[in-house]
């Protein structure tokens, strides 16, 4: 099948690689290069790097909506289908209706749950037991089109946003190949989205500031869900400390006694900092002081001695 592929981040690359092995990818469309890092050097999106490695023409329009010149380019290519995976722009009706087999999106959730920009991380933060990939027809609404196929991925107890991202990215390739084969054979049934839904809003750095009045379980999920980006953090002794690995300790043991305020260091062991939360204790096992590398709690405590009663500031 002759295809145009639209995608931008690392998540999209395994799907592109799978399509290159089984179809004619006539063009790749991705977001413009951006300046990143401390040196603000211009960097290509991961999908562009992958496309150039295969000798595939790459287009990087600032905007697709209202872009008559780009629309003519697509019409000239005459793709049988357009496959989209985390592209980053909404497609206008003129593009959605252009290919014979439509525009097919590879979405990182079990729709209709977790429509939106950050379905992977929110599934971890919300404590879901499973998530997956859904292939779907695209329409003008955000992730509202008819579903085609799904694959389910369990969410492990220690799953992070980063580890789940990699699992789902790898699952996208086989599922889009199965979807395209089914479309060609006419064996796939379109399923409208009905039932419970929720919106996975975009992540921001501000989301990572820990509110210690939350429960220990909720904070632990937040730490995993926002790892590696944007990360969770708090202030300790006037410095920002980033959290990489935590564990719920269970009962705080203060039944009948006055609890310390949330954010207070309740205990210090050789390998953990135990912090009082709004409900239960949280053991910080791995963290990163401002301007330093990430380290286990034991190494941190050797350089930054803490005492019971010290306070994490939200």
258-312 pLDDT, tens digit each: 789 999 999 999 999 999 999 999 999 999 999 999 999 999 999 999 999 999 9
User: Which 3 state secondary structure label does DSSP give 113?
Assistant: coil
Segment 183-191 long-range contacts (CB within 8 Å, at least 24 positions apart): 183/81, 183/101, 183/104, 183/148, 184/1, 184/101, 188/148, 188/149, 190/137, 190/146, 190/147, 190/148, 191/146, 191/147, 191/148
Q: Fill in the DSSP letter of residue 187.
A: -
Q: How confident is the model at residue 222 (pLDDT cuts 50, 70, 90)?
A: very high
DSSP string, 121-169: HHHHHTT-SEEEEEEEE--SSTT-SPEEEEEEEE--TT--HHHHHHHHH
Nearest alpha carbon to residue 242 among 284, 196, 289: 289
Residue range 87-114: mean pLDDT, rounded: 97
Global pTM reads: 0.95
114-154: per-residue pLDDT in tens?
Answer: 999 999 999 999 999 999 999 999 999 899 999 999 999 99
Write down all domains in the chain, each with its CATH number in brackets: 2-200 (3.40.50.170), 205-313 (3.10.25.10)
CA 176 to chain CA centroid, nearest Å: 19
Strands (DSSP E) along 178-238, which ranges?
199-200, 232-236
Residue range 213-228: mean pLDDT, rounded: 98
């Amino acid at each position: 099948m002759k295809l145009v592929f639209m995608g931008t981040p690392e998540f999209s690359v395994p799907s592109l690689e799978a399509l290159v092995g089984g179809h004619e990818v006539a063009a790749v469309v991705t977001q413009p290069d951006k300046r990143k890092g401390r040196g603000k050097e211009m960097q290509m999106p991961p999908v562009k790097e992958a496309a150039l490695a295969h000798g595939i023409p790459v287009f990087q329009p600032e905007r697709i909506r209202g872009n008559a010149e780009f629309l003519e380019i697509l019409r000239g290519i005459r793709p049988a289908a357009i496959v989209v995976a985390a592209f980053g722009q909404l497609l206008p009706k003129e593009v959605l209706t252009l290919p014979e087999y439509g525009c097919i999106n590879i979405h990182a959730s079990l729709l209709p749950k977790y429509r939106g920009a950050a379905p992977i991380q929110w599934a971890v933060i919300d404590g879901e037991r499973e998530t997956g990939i859904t292939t779907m027809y695209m329409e003008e609404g955000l992730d509202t089109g008819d579903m085609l196929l799904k694959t389910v991925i369990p969410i492990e107890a220690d799953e992070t946003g980063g580890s789940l991202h990699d699992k789902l990215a790898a699952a996208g390739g086989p599922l889009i190949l199965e979807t395209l084969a089914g479309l060609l054979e006419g064996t796939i049934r379109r399923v409208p989205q009905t039932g419970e839904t929720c919106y996975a809003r975009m992540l921001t750095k501000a989301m990572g500031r820990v509110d210690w009045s939350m429960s220990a379980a909720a904070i632990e999920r937040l730490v995993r869900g926002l790892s590696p980006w944007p990360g969770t953090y708090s202030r300790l002794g006037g410095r920002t400390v980033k959290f990489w690995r935590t564990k719920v300790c269970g009962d705080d043991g203060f039944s009948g006694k006055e609890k310390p305020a949330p954010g207070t260091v309740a205990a210090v062991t050789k390998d953990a900092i135990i912090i009082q939360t709004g409900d239960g204790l949280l053991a910080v096992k791995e963290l990163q002081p401002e301007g330093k590398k990430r380290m286990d709690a034991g190494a941190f405590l050797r350089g930054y001695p803490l005492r019971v009663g010290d306070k994490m500031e939200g």
